[in-house]
Amino acid sequence: MDQDQTRATLPESAQRVARLLAELGHDKPIVMLPASGKTSAEAAAGLGCSVAQIAKSIIFRRLEDDAPVLVIASGGNRVDETKVAARVGALGKADARFVREKTGYAIGGVCPIGHAVTPVMLLDRDLFGFDSLWAAAGHPHAVFNLTPQQLQQMTGAEVADVAQASHV
């Protein structure tokens, strides 16, 4: 099956991501997980990788202008909202409607690229500890593989320390 035929079997939102990736010259296919990849743990289990290799996309709402703020974090990290707010301004929670409206994706399938409204973006510096990452491809079961450098190049996101300190 060629790439166009493979792309046609994907859900509509994942087809859109596949087209975007092709336009960017990204040569890795979108992978459909048999079970949901809504959480980093589910995605990692389906892919056989570490949870930390999942590049999870978390959307916040910037209070001053209602702009979407996308934090792409390592699946093993909890995002420290105080650190993010110090870089981009005060944050509020983004409900499912806000996420869909601003990104064009449903929660659990938010891709780091192709948003309806260009978000303010931060990229977790901890992702650069890995050679290979997996990111959502527009659908809770769809993911694609890339390097941290490719992720930064695709998004233009600022690399930042966004993780909560672990209390071991």
Any domain includes 166: no
pTM as predicted? 0.91
Q: Which residues pair with 55 in a beta bridge?
A: 74, 135
Any domain includes 167: no
Any domain includes 99: yes
Any domain includes 7: yes
What is the chain's percent helix, strand, coil content, to nearest 5? 35, 25, 40
Any domain includes 40: yes
Mean per-residue pLDDT pooled into runs of 10, the chain (168 residues): 56 94 95 83 91 96 98 96 97 96 94 96 97 95 96 96 78
Any domain includes 147: yes
DSSP 6-49: HHHTS-HHHHHHHHHHHHTT--SPEEE-SS--SSHHHHHHHHTS
Strand 120-124 to strand 158-160: parallel, antiparallel, or no bridges (unpaired)? parallel
Residues, the chain: 168
For residue 135, give the amino acid letter: A
Any domain includes 18: yes
Instruction: State the pLDDT at residue 7.
Output: 55
CATH number at residue 99: 3.90.960.10
Any domain includes 44: yes
Residue 89 DSSP SS3: coil
Contact predicate 69/91, CB 8 Å: yes
Q: The tokens of 103 are what?
A: 């990104």
Going 103 to 107 to 113 to 118, the CA torsion angle's sign is positive
Instruction: State the pLDDT at residue 167.
Output: 54
Residue corresponding to tokens 């296919």: 29
Q: Domain count of the chain? A: 1
Give residue 106's domain range: 3-160
Longest CA pairwise span in the chain (Å):
49
Q: Which residues pair with 57 in a beta bridge?
A: 72
Instruction: State the pLDDT at residue 2.
Output: 41
